[in-house]
Chains A and B, each alone.
Chain A
Amino acid sequence: MTALHPSLGVPSTPESTLDSVLTPEAMYRIPAHRVATEPRTGRPAPTGHAHSPSLVMLVLIATVGILAYAHFLLNPASRGDWLPYSLVIAAESILIFQALLSMWTILSGSSDPREFSVHQAQATLIHTRSLARDGLMDQPERWPLHLGDQPATIDVFITTYGEDLDVIRTTVTAARRMHGEHLTRVLDDGRSDEVRDLAAELGVRYLRRLSSNGAKAGNVNHALTVSTAEFFVIFDADFVPKPGFLLETLPFFIDDTVSFVQTPQAYSNLHNVISRGAGYMQAVFYRFIQPGRNRFNAAFCVGTNVIFRRDAINDIGGMYTDSKSEDVWTSLKLHERGWKTIYIPTVLATGHAPDTVEAYTKQQLRWATGGFEILLQSNPLSPRRRLTFDQRLQYLVTASFYLTGIAPLLLLLVPPLEIYFDLRPMNISTTVVTWLLYYAGFYLMQVVLAFYTMGSFRWETLMLATASFPIYVAALINVLVGKEQHWSATGNRSKAASPFNFMIPQVLFFVFLLLTSVVAVWRDVTIGTLTLATAWNVTNTVILGTFVGTALIESHGARRVRALSRKVVPS
Chain B
Amino acid sequence: MTWANRFKLFVGLIAVVGIVAVLTIVFNQRQAQVMSASASIQAAEYPVGSDYGGTVLDRLVDDGDKVKAGQALFRLQSPTLQADLAEGLVTADNVAYSVGDDGVLTLTASVDGTLTDITTERGSFVQAGQVLAVIDKTGSLFVSADFVLTSGDYARIEPGADVDILLPNQTRVAGTMDTLDVQTADGQAETTAKVVSPDLVDGAANGLMAPGTPVTATISLRDDGLLAGASDGLFSFLRTIGL
> Contacts A420-B27, A526-B31 given: A512-B16 contact, CB under 8 Å?
yes
Interface string of A514-543 (1 = CB under 8 A from B): 011001001100111000000000000000
Within 8 Å by CB of A519, from B12, B15, B20, B30, lies B20
What is the minimal beta-carbon distance from A426 to any residue of chain B, in angstroms?
Answer: 20
A422 within 8 A of B: yes
Listed stretches A22-30, A81-89, A405-413, A499-507; interface member: A499-507
Evaluate contact between B16 and A508: CB separation under 8 angstroms: yes
B23 within 8 A of A: yes
Closest to A508 in B: B12
> Contacts A419-B27, A420-B27, A421-B26 given: A500-B1 contact, CB under 8 Å?
yes
B69 within 8 A of A: no
Closest to A555 in B: B1
B24 within 8 A of A: yes
A132 within 8 A of B: no
Evaluate contact between B2 and A501: CB separation under 8 angstroms: yes
What is the minimal beta-carbon distance from B227 to any residue of chain A, in angstroms?
Answer: 10
Within 8 Å by CB of B9, from A416, A500, A512, lies A500
Evaluate contact between A519 and B225: CB separation under 8 angstroms: no
> Contacts A500-B9, A523-B27, A523-B31 given: A515-B1 contact, CB under 8 Å?
no
Within 8 Å by CB of B5, from A421, A504, A527, lies A504
Interface string of B4-47 (1 = CB under 8 A from A): 01001100110111011001101100110000000000000000
A436 within 8 A of B: no
B12 partner residues in chain A, CB cutoff 8 A? 504, 507-508
Interface of A is mostly: helix
Closest to A507 in B: B9
Closest to A505 in B: B12
Evaluate contact between B31 and A420: CB separation under 8 angstroms: no
Separation of A515 and B19 alpha carbons in the complex (Å): 10
Closest to B6 in A: A500
A515 partner residues in chain B, CB cutoff 8 A? 16-17, 20
Interface residues of B in 218-243 (CB under 8 A from A): 225-226
Closest to B23 in A: A420
Within 8 Å by CB of A504, from B9, B20, B23, B226, lies B9
A498 within 8 A of B: yes
**B residues contacting the other copy or chain, number (CB 8 A):** 22
What is the minimal beta-carbon distance from B34 to any residue of chain A, in angstroms?
Answer: 12
Separation of A306 and B1 alpha carbons in the complex (Å): 38
A511 within 8 A of B: yes
What is the minimal beta-carbon distance from B146 to any residue of chain A, in angstroms?
Answer: 17
Evaluate contact between A498 and B16: CB separation under 8 angstroms: no
Separation of A504 and B13 alpha carbons in the complex (Å): 10
B13 partner residues in chain A, CB cutoff 8 A? 508, 511
Evaluate contact between A519 and B27: CB separation under 8 angstroms: yes
> Contacts A511-B16, A512-B16 given: A501-B5 contact, CB under 8 Å?
yes
Separation of A516 and B19 alpha carbons in the complex (Å): 10
What is the minimal beta-carbon distance from A184 to any residue of chain B, in angstroms?
Answer: 39
Closest to B27 in A: A420
What is the minimal beta-carbon distance from A214 to any residue of chain B, in angstroms?
Answer: 31
A416 partner residues in chain B, CB cutoff 8 A? 23
A501 partner residues in chain B, CB cutoff 8 A? 1-2, 5
Separation of A508 and B16 alpha carbons in the complex (Å): 7
Closest to B25 in A: A420
Separation of A453 and B152 alpha carbons in the complex (Å): 53
A500 partner residues in chain B, CB cutoff 8 A? 1, 5, 9
B9 partner residues in chain A, CB cutoff 8 A? 500, 504, 507-508
Contacts A/B (CB < 8 Å), 17 sampled: A420-B24, A420-B26, A420-B27, A422-B30, A497-B1, A497-B2, A498-B2, A500-B9, A501-B5, A504-B5, A504-B12, A507-B12, A508-B9, A511-B13, A512-B20, A515-B20, A516-B23
Chain A residues close to B by CB (< 8 Å): 416, 419-422, 497-498, 500-501, 504, 507-508, 511-512, 515-516, 519, 522-523, 526-528
Given A508-B12, A508-B16, A519-B23; 14 other pairs, CB 8 A cutoff: A419-B27, A420-B26, A420-B27, A498-B1, A498-B5, A501-B2, A507-B9, A507-B12, A508-B15, A515-B20, A516-B20, A516-B23, A522-B226, A523-B27
